[in-house]
Structures are given as structure tokens and as C-alpha cells.
Structure 1
């Protein structure tokens, strides 16, 4: 190849471009094809490199009938014959060449596949004759260039006779009765078939049947070979010599027409002509077909030049033997946006061989068929010449068939195919989806991408989309329409277990009855997904305070504080399950045991040991209630307390803080038994006066009496306390005081409340007689003091006289007391006085 810089004038525009001439392509044989890897193994990588543009083409490989009759050479399957495409080399590893895209055709190296390096230019001029290496049975026969810009012609392209080779003449032998379509060339009964897209079996390369596009060989004796075929059928070869008139028409069949295949991106070399039969070693072989030209350019400037892919003529003259058939025109493919100036494409068939035999007619060769012109679009400035080749003739006037083809026929006219579109590589990739973390009992689907001929999952399922419920790794093995096997990555379906941390026990410990307690329990989401709690079920006695609405989402790695309140409404141990119901990512249930123990309440009923003077009126004997612990509150719906005392010592008049249910006097035993009914009392922790027995101390021979708490019965108490009792006593002392040697008698003390009921201010009047300290207390119905005051009564007044009464008056604003019942209690040196009153403003 040579490259020059020329100045070309075309259509009124002058421009300078580099130029090319000679042979610009490199050719390597393909030994193996790995379509699924977009890779071929080549005989040599000379001239190839990563990024190189190449043309992959298969020259032969059609399957044809080999029956020894007129059907011989009929195409049964085209297979990869003529398959052609542009590719780009991605990388080269040793003798392996890998392309950047998938191949659009199937190729079989047994069909003679070659890889042609394609030079790529920006703008280029054909400065001198441009040609291709002729087909040598393995490589060659193809000229291909690619131009991104303008391709300008300053010379012709010529690949005449660069295609399939012509058949050889027969081994010299005389015989007339040979009508076979296929014979062994070595036996000399027929000439060799011209080369075509079908490779005849070994030892079956002769006979008048065509090698599909290769012309059939002339049979004995001296019949002519058939013309090669391409876009049309080649002409049949001439008849045997006149001595074999009983066995006429055994000239080689013309090569078959392949025109219907051109639009399928299959480009063929012109078929070779069949050889002529000889017995005098004066015959001629068949001529070669035209080569293949493929041009891709954005713009072509023809400048009146020609692209020649003509079949070769049989130029030698036969003597007293048969003549070879002409080669078929080749194929020219032009993929250009525009063609400017005149451009001629010539794919004519070659002329069959002629004879100069002086006498006795012999078989001339059939004409080669016209070739194929394939265009991506029509171009007005482009013209074609696709004439078939002429049959050979007898050139000597003395021959009885002077100027006659003697049965030989011309080749058919070629074909222009327009428009034409390149097949695009369909690159499908196998993708799979469906990775999932599967909840227990749930199903999910996994699927593979469409477009494959067959599918098979690693567990044997054959549907591209299917549902699964079992965890595992699922691999898809798919086969595409080209037979390539694709293996996917693993689709991993795992078992999704909701991961969280929550303590198993929420223990409130010891709790007082009917007292609210709160604790926080931590629920921690240890999963890598957000966790949703749909609801939380609580056991009796326990209430979820926060969260107060559902569902609640706990982000991955975060915690949720569960605030729980406990109130003991019953006197019993509490134990139950807090059930946490998760809904996402998977339904799950966690259980927390809630526990609480109710503190026991200890109640001690007691009566104090008291002393009173004889005849003390309004004397009160308190009934104390000690509730422990002091944080507890004893809620009493109903309780009965039974007291007993000596009826000769104390006469009970009134009872404050309780109802007198029974009051029985045993006159025989002098025992008075009183049953107190205490209803609706809430006794807080600590000591309180629960009720007060108010009465009069009696003058009797008995000066003291035990006051016993005979029994306590709880009815409708919310919490049954541990009950103990502590008895008290009352001692009655005579009112006898010494003042020198005189015994004085004192009037009883005085305690008055006015008005009663109290609607305005409360006035308390105290009359003190016996000298000493007087303690005043105002208590509510539960015995709780709301006001206390102390007074002292001296023995003498200021003049040294012991007065009968010393009065004190106390005014209490009504606003300092809430509405309700109260008791004013005055403890004197000799007695206790109690006056109940009511505040009702």
C-alpha cells in the first residue's frame, strides 16, 4: 500500500487529502470462534491491535444436496456462509482476539472465516489503483475501508477475479457415457467444480452439479464448465464433442443464484467457473469470480471512477477439449450518506472459455453470472453494470459449429439491493432480581431478565419469574438464542429475623397499695432496618403510659422507652406478660414479665391508759389506729370493732367517728360490750384517732376497768391489713385535794361551742376550776387535730383566793375551718370534755 498527498478537484471544490493505493487490508484466518465470549482464535495477529476496526466474514459453509442428480448443489441451509459484520477489537490475548460487542451472526471456522483489518480514515483519496489480495482458499478476496468524512476517487478500485477460484480441467480421459453430477476428480470423468459457498466432500469435487455458487465441471467427453453464480445463476457449459452425440447436455451446471440472501447481511465472493473436460490436454479451467468490496463513508466523491468486482474471463483458448466457465461478478457494498459525481460499480460476469478446434464441436464454457450491488440508500450519481458473462464459442470457421456456443449459455444479470441496513449486535445481559430478607411464612418472587431462549434456576425451576418461600441462594442459568449460556449472580433469599433487645422482666418490687408507681423499660432495635411496633398488650394492674399511640417506628440502632405505671388495686401479688407486637420488618412477638408485690399494711388498734376524776362528764376515751408503714393509706369500706369495759366505771353517752351498732350490758358480769361500725374511712399512715367514746365516769366501789378490744372484723376493705390490738384502761380517782387541812370540792370544768352549727366565727368558752394545765384540741372526724391550744389555771387568783371558775374565750374565724364535722376536746387535770360541732357556711 502506498499513501500520497494529492490535490483533488471535485464538483468545483479543491482540497488536499492523503491518498491510498494498492492493498490496504490485512487478512488473518480464524481458527476458532467463541461467540458467547465475543472472541475468535486467529492464525496470526499481525496487523491487529486493540481498538482496530475489523471485518469478520465467513466465505463458505452452506449445506447443499449431494444427491447425484439434478438437485445436486441445491441449498439446504445457508448456515454462516456470507455472514459479515464490522467489529472493534477490545483486546488481544495471545492468539485470542476479543471484540467490544457481541457478534450478530453465527460463524463456523470450517466455513473459512477470516478477519480483515479495516483501515479507518477521516478523509482520504484513492490516489492509485486500490485492490485486495486475491482469495487463496483461506483468506483474501476482500477490500474494505471506512471513512469518517469524504472518500474521493482519483483512481479505480479493482478486485476483478479476486473471488472464488475456478475449477481445474479434468485428468485426461475419454468417455462419453458420463452423466454424473458428482464424481471424484481423480478418475478423470469430469472436470473440477468451480469454488463456491459449498465445499464438496472429499473425493467428490468433480461432476456437472454446481458447488452451490461454483459452476459445475464439464463431463466427458469434452463438455464445457458452468459459469460461476452470485446474484444470478451462471450459464451452463457447452455439450460434449460430437462423438458423444448419444450423451448430449452434460456440460457443467451454472452456479446457483444467491440474490435472495444479500439483504440478510450476507456478502459473497463471485463463484468460480467450472473446468472443461479434456482428453487431449487442450482444455481450459474455470475463471475466478469477482471479489468483495465494502465501503463505509459519510461522503463519496466518484469523479467518474469505477469500483470493479468483475468475474474473470477465461482467456486461454481450448483446442480439441472442453472449455472452462467464466467467473461470477463479485459483490460491492456501499454504505454512504451521499455519493457525488459519477461513480460506476461494475460486477459483471466473466466470459466462458472459447475453443479454436478446427473440426468436431467441443463444449465452450458458460458465462459467469452478474454480481451483487448492495446499497444502504439510492444515489442518483451511482450507476451499475451487472451484466452476465457471455458463453464461449467456436472461433475457427472450419468448425461445423462456428460461432456457436454449442449448448453453452450466458450468465444471468446481477442484482442491486437497496435499501440495506446493518444488523446491530444485540447484547442482552442476564440480570436477576429478588434479593430479600424473608419473614417466616412469607413468600417473595425472584426473576431473571427477559430475552433468553431458555431458563433454569439452580433448584430446577424453569420459569424466569417464580415465587420462593425457602431461604437460599438461587442462580439462573439462561441460554440465549445464539446458544450462549449465561450464569447469573446468586439471588440471596435469607430468613429475616427481627433483631431487638428488650429485658425479660419489669419488676416494680414492693409497692404500697393504691399508690401509682412508674418505671421505664427499654426496647432497643438492634436490626439494620426500622422496626415497627403495632401494639403492646398490658397485664392487669399495669398501664402503658408512653408511647400512647400506635404504630410506633423505632429506627435502626435506636431505642424506645416504654413508660409503665403500676397501681395495686387488689391486695395480691401481681404478675403478667407485657406483649410487644412488632409488625415490621417481620411480624414478631416479644414478652416482658411484669411483676409487683403489694406491701403489707399493719394496723394496730389501741386504747390508752387514762385517768379521770369521779363524775367527769364528756370524758373521751379515744380509739387509736396506727397504720404502718407511714406511706400507706388504708381504704376501709366497712370495719367492725368490738370494745368491752366495766359498766360500773364508765357510762358511754356518745361515740364520735363511728356508728354504734350494738351496745350490750351484761349485768351479771358487769361488762358492757359495744360494737363500732366504721364506714368509708381512709386512714393514712401513722397514728390517728379513729373513734372516741364520750361519757361520764361513775362513782363506784370499782375504781378502774380494762378497756379491751375484743375483735376487729374487716368488710369490703380494699386491702386486708395485718391487724393487732392493744388494750387500754380507765382509772377513776376521787376529786379530793388538800388545802391545808380543809378538803375542797371543785365544780366541773366547762367547754362550750357557739354557735353550733357554725356559720360565722366560732367562739370557744373554757371554764377552768381545778388548778393545772388545760389542753384544747379541735379534731376532724378522723381524729386529726386541726388546732391546739394550752391554758394554765393557778391555784389562787391574784388576791390569794381560790376562784370557782377561771374562764377563757377563744374566737376562731370561720374561714380557718372547712365545712364538716369536728370535735372540740378539752383535757383537764381531772377529766376530758368533748363537744361535737359542725361547720356549715
Structure 2
């Protein structure tokens, strides 16, 4: 009937209470909450405090919390009859304008992915900030973080990168998407910042009958698998695979130039290896606006790897953990490899990011290699997860480059599986 009833047992004990309040926190994604003594506020998540007198506790009338469930009109299938799913199940829309918190209208670009499934009223969507970090772009070891004496890697401000929320579609008249509720967060789409809207299919029960995957991240959309299962998700011995679906690796220098010196950033395309793509932007060679002051050189922009210098390797991309520095040329420390991407240091389920792309190696003999792509994002919500299965979100590796510089490896992506019943996920293997 579109609602869930939560009842609390009657308390009747002589135990001495040591706390003043019992706290109830409702954290169930996109629910509309009505508390035990108030009215619903659309889209609001509330912290409820139920007073408890200190001293012997007298019987308390059970509190009731009513939470409106997701719109069930767009849930496919029926209980006990799983929908068989395989391939690319999400549709991706790049945002083309900023969207502010407290508003509900977004402007979208051309859809990619499963384009047979367009947006309809009642559909569930994920809005996620893909890129929003800012970096120092000086040609010194302050590159990236802005801190002198460092590795020439990192960021000044991570911004809202990785921030996301779920919402329900009220209407869609291309290119205008109207949501049923206002946004909680603001999202930015200008300069080197980008966010996308992902259609999230909803199923009553679902069963994997083959590999689920995502469209490649293309600089503005893609790279994500997200599904919602109201009942049981049966992995059925299959795989969700977003290996290499994340931020892209840097491109080789266009000529066989001899790169010498500590070139943290260069606009010239024919000397140093190219920087990878990451949360701070997309190089021109990959279809983006490029990093300020240049897309080449050993400096690592945020979580992307830097390019190699004179036959040296590109730096590895990063996500939570840091990337690795590229290899030196011919066991020499006279020429400098690409610096490693910087990781955020601690996994945060409220922020999900693609794996950073590796930096390109440097070539002067025609056999250098591009940087490798990072891993994608997987977000699964189900009441129960059964069966054995695997989620792959690894970054790619770069081939051997002979006497030139190899590319840096891509970083692993992000995986979040939310099973509402809280049962063990021991039959699920995650590689990232």
C-alpha cells in the first residue's frame, strides 16, 4: 500500500535509565518520513528523540513511525517471479547546467547506455557529482596540492566530488527533467566539473542471467551500475563487471621528443607523457577542456596519474589509496617518471568515485604506452542478496612498452552493496 509500519514494543521495567533519550534515526534512502507525533515533510530524513524519564521507567505507549515507500508503479516483476537481467541496464544522462539544492529541475544532454529505457514518471534516478576538485597548476613540486616540497600530486579542494542522492522522476521532456522532490545537494556542471543522472531500474525480484556491466565513462556520463531490488537479488553465479569503466588513462606525447628536467606541467604535446583523467578534469586529448597550464608532464592532478619524462613510466591512478609512481628509465634516476595520483585516504559511503586514470609513459622510439583506465562504480540496493557472484571494479593495466615508458595503471573503482536484511554477504566476491 506504499507504506511501512514500524512498531516498538512496550517498555515495562524497573531498570534505572542512564540516558535521557532513546534515539531513532531513519536513514532509508529516499523515504518520506512521518514521525511519531508530527506530520511528513517531503524528502526529509529525521532524527527522532523519544523522552525517557530517569529513574524507574514507567510503561510507555509504543511509538509508531510511518515511512512512505518508493513509488511501486515502476517496479518490474512480481514477488517470487524474478526478472532476468544481463548486459547494460542503466541509462546515463550528462547534466549540461548547474542544479541547486532546493530546486527540482535539471537540464540533461544526450542519453547513453541502455537508451531503450528512457525516463518516465515514477522512475528512480541517481544524481552524482563525478568531477569537482580544484588543483594547483604551477610548474613546481606544488603541482596538485599547492604544498611546496611535495610529490607534485593531489588537490587544493576536493569539492563535492562523489556526492550523490536518489530521487523520483515527476516528468521528462527532453532535455528537461523535473523531480518529484527538491534536491538536497547542489550539483555543478561547468568548467572541469561534471555530474550525471543515472536511471536506476527497479525490480521486485531479480536474477542475474549473465554479466551486468556499464557503458564506458566518456568524460560526461557512464561508468556506473546501479539497481534497486525491492525483494531478492539472486546473483545466480554471475558477475557485475565495471573493470576499466572509470576515468581514462592519459595519452602519449605526439612526437618522439627528448624530455628532460622536472616538467610538472607542460602544454606542449610532443615531449612529456600525458596526464590521466580524474576528479579534477579531463585532458583535451580525451575530449575535455584540459587542465589549466597543460595536460602533459609528471605532475599528478588529484587522483589521476602524471605523465612520464624521457622513457619513464606514467604514474598510477588513485581512489581511496594512492597510486604508484611510474618506473624510472633504464634504472636511472636522472629522468623522472609520472607522479602518483593521490587517494582520499578513507572510504566514505556518502561519496563514490571512479578510479583515477593512469598517466601515459613517455616515448622517443615509438613504442610507449597510454595510461590505463580506472574502475567504475557499483551501487546495489536489495532487501536480500542470494547466490554466489562476483563484482569486479578493477582498474586496467598498461602493456609493456619495450624501451619506452609504459603507462600507469588505473585505480580500482567504488562498490557499495546495501542488503536491507543485514545477512552475510559471504557468497559475494568483490575485486576492486
TM-score (norm 1): 0.38
The 5-angstrom pairing of residues 257-268 of structure 1 reads: 257-260=343-346, 262-263=347-348, 265-268=350-353
State the shift of 1:189 in Å: 2.2
Counterpart in the other structure of 1:137: 219
- Equivalent residue number for residue 396 of structure 2: 312
* Residue 201 of structure 2 is aligned to residue 119 of structure 1: yes
1:275 to 360, 382, 388: 360
Candidates 153, 165, 190, aligned match of 1:85: 165
State the shift of 1:241 in Å: 3.9
Unpaired segments ≥5 residues, structure 2: 1-75, 146-154, 282-289
Counterpart pick for 1:205 among 277, 284, 295: 295
| Shift, 1:263, TM fit | 2.3
Distance 1:297 1:264, change over 3 A: closer
Distance verdict in 2 for CA 1:246–1:325, change over 3 Å: closer
Structure 1 unaligned spans of 5+: 6-14, 348-841
Alpha carbons 1:80, 1:105 under 8 Å: kept? no
Residues 17-36 of structure 1: CA deviation (Å, up to 9, x unaligned): 22100000001111113324
CA distance in 1, matches of 2:98, 2:260: 45
Q: What is the Cα deviation at residue 97 of structure 1? A: 0.9
Distance in 2 of aligned mates of 1:192 and 1:312: 17
- Summarize deviations over 1:251-293 as a string: whole Å, max 9, x none: 1111110233x42621100011110000111011111000000
Structure 2 CA distance, aligned partners of 1:259 and 1:142? Answer: 22
Q: Distance in 1 between matches of 2:81 and 2:165?
A: 31
**Paired position in structure 2 for 1:21:** 86
Give the alignment of 1:48-447 within 5 angstroms: 48-74=119-145, 75-110=155-190, 111-154=193-236, 155-186=238-269, 188-199=270-281, 200-202=290-292, 204-219=294-309, 221-241=310-330, 245=332, 247-248=334-335, 250-260=336-346, 262-263=347-348, 265-301=350-386, 303-314=387-398, 316-337=399-420, 338-340=422-424, 342-347=427-432
Check whether the contact 1:178–1:189 (CA below 8 A) recurs between aligned residues: no
- C-alpha distance in 2 between matches for 1:91 and 1:201: 36
Distance, in Å, in 1 between the alignment partners of 2:333 and 2:257 is 15
| Residue matched to 1:38 | 104
Aligned residues: 327
Matching of residues 759-838 of structure 1 within 5 Å: none
The alpha-carbon distance between structure 1 residues 259 and 334, as it changes in their structure 2 partners (threshold 3 A), is farther
- CA drift at 1:339: 4.1
How far did residue 330 of structure 1 move? Answer: 0.4
Q: Report if the CA contact (8 A) 1:185-1:191 is conserved.
A: no
Pairwise CA distance, 1:184: 1.4
The superposition leaves residues 419-466 of structure 1 with CA deviations (integer Å, 9 ceiling, x where unpaired) of xxxxxxxxxxxxxxxxxxxxxxxxxxxxxxxxxxxxxxxxxxxxxxxx
Deviations 1:596-645 (A, max 9, x none): xxxxxxxxxxxxxxxxxxxxxxxxxxxxxxxxxxxxxxxxxxxxxxxxxx
CA shift at 1:240, angstroms? Answer: 2.7
CA–CA distance in structure 1, aligned partners of residues 423 and 406 of structure 2: 41
Mapped contact 2:265–2:293 kept (Cα < 8 A): no
Please give the per-residue CA displacement for 1:679-728, whole angstroms capped at 9, x wherever unaligned: xxxxxxxxxxxxxxxxxxxxxxxxxxxxxxxxxxxxxxxxxxxxxxxxxx
1:676-687 correspondence runs (5 A): none
Question: Counterparts of 1:222 and 1:241 in 2: how far apart (Å)?
Answer: 8
Structure-2 change in CA distance of 1:94 and 1:326 (3 Å): closer
Deviation at 1:173, TM superposition (A): 2.9
1:377-433 Cα distance to aligned partner (Å, 9 max, x none): xxxxxxxxxxxxxxxxxxxxxxxxxxxxxxxxxxxxxxxxxxxxxxxxxxxxxxxxx
Question: Corresponding residue for 1:708?
Answer: none
1:638-657 aligned within 5 A:
none
Whole-angstrom CA distance in 2 between matches of 1:264 and 1:207: 33
For the 8 Å contact 1:125–1:153, the answer to whether it is kept is yes
SS in 2 for 1:104: coil
Alignment deviations for residues 475-532 of structure 1 (CA, whole Å, 9 cap, x no partner): xxxxxxxxxxxxxxxxxxxxxxxxxxxxxxxxxxxxxxxxxxxxxxxxxxxxxxxxxx
Per-residue Cα deviation, 1:318-344 (whole angstroms, up to 9, x for no partner):
122100011100000112123455111
Tell me which residue corresponds to 2:40. Answer: none
CA distance in 1, matches of 2:373, 2:228: 26
Q: What secondary structure does 1:258 align onto? A: coil
- Would you say the 8 A contact 2:81–2:205 is kept in 1? no
Q: Separation in 1 of the partners of 2:306 and 2:297? A: 6
8 Å CA contact retained: 2:132, 2:161: yes
Q: Which secondary structure state, in structure 2, belongs to the residue aligned with residue 109 of structure 1?
A: coil
CA RMSD of aligned residues (A): 2.0
* Conserved? CA contact 1:171–1:185, under 8 Å: no
Give the Cα–Cα distance (whole angstroms) in 2 for the partners of residues 234 and 103 of structure 1. Answer: 34
CA contact (8 A) 2:305 2:338 kept: yes
How far did residue 201 of structure 1 move?
2.5
Q: 1:150 to 1:72 in 2, by over 3 A?
A: same
TM-score, normalised relative to structure 2: 0.72
For the Cα contact (< 8 Å) 1:172–1:280, is it kept in 2? no
Structure 1 pair 246–313 and aligned structure 2 pair: CA distance change class (3 A): closer
Distance 1:185 1:213, change over 3 A: farther
> Does the aligned pair in 1 maintain the 2:120–2:171 contact within 8 Å?
yes
Q: What's 2:3 paired with? A: none
Contact 1:185 1:203 in 2 (8 A): no
Asked if 1 retains the 8 angstrom alpha-carbon contact of 2:349 and 2:416, the reply is no
**Which of 1 and 2 has higher RCO (CA within 8 Å, sep 6+)?**
2
**CA drift at 1:81:** 1.6
Alignment check: 8 A CA contact 1:182 1:206 kept: yes
Which protein has the bigger strand share? Answer: 1
Secondary structure of 2:348's aligned partner: helix
Shift of 1:70: 2.2
CA positional deviation for 1:83: 1.6
Counterpart CA distance in 1 for 2:360 and 2:174 is 42
